[in-house]
Amino acid sequence: MDTPSLYEIPLTLIDGTETTFGDFRGKTVLVVNVASKCGFTPQYAGLEALYKQYATDGLVILGMPSNQFMGQEPGTESDIAEFCDMNYGVTFPMTTKVDVRGKDQHPLYAQLTKFKTGILPGLVKWNFEKFLVNSDGQIVDRFASTVEPQSKEIVAAIEKTLAEAAA
């Protein structure tokens, strides 16, 4: 298999800590490309609620800020962290700003975007697109920006993935 394991992919957290996706080994992870000045920005509240509800069951939300869609994430990492804390009380892990498409696409997104659903093939279309990764590091679902974090569709997928991990 020439595809690297998701767990080998390097990440830089918003506070500058260098790590890898391997920190989330054994967890269910919802990876979301986020932005502070987007019509979908209020989804931070739903993402935080999901994280609080399911973190003890093994869910991690990973926010990955991106400024690739109409410059909707213009701030520095400290601006982003402060915005998320002050406006939404975000406690889930966030990375530094990344490119989710194009020549400088983050390696995690190079792997995530290989997962295709009927309505979401290939490239990330907009901010707040969501990818669900199971506890074995397999990409199992993908959701459009318009799908709210606490929608029945996402909650059912998370609960199913958590249940499979617990079995």
Quote the CA–CA distance of 12 and 20 in Å, as a whole number: 8
Counting Cα atoms < 13 Å in the Cβ hemisphere of 10 gives 5
Domain annotation covers residue 116: yes
Number of domains making up the chain: 1
pLDDT of residue 122: 78
With contact defined as beta carbons under 8 Å apart, do 115 and 142 qualify? Answer: yes
The one-digit pLDDT tens for each residue of the chain (167 residues) are 345 689 999 999 999 999 999 999 999 999 999 999 999 999 999 999 999 999 999 999 999 999 999 999 999 999 999 999 999 999 999 999 999 999 999 999 999 998 776 565 678 999 999 999 999 999 999 999 999 999 999 999 999 999 999 88
Q: Domain of 84: which CATH number?
A: 3.40.30.10
Provide the residue range defining the domain that includes 48: 6-166
Domain annotation covers residue 1: no
Domain annotation covers residue 77: yes
| pTM metric for this prediction | 0.94
With contact defined as beta carbons under 8 Å apart, do 69 and 163 qualify? Answer: no
Domain annotation covers residue 58: yes
Domain annotation covers residue 108: yes
Active site residues: 38
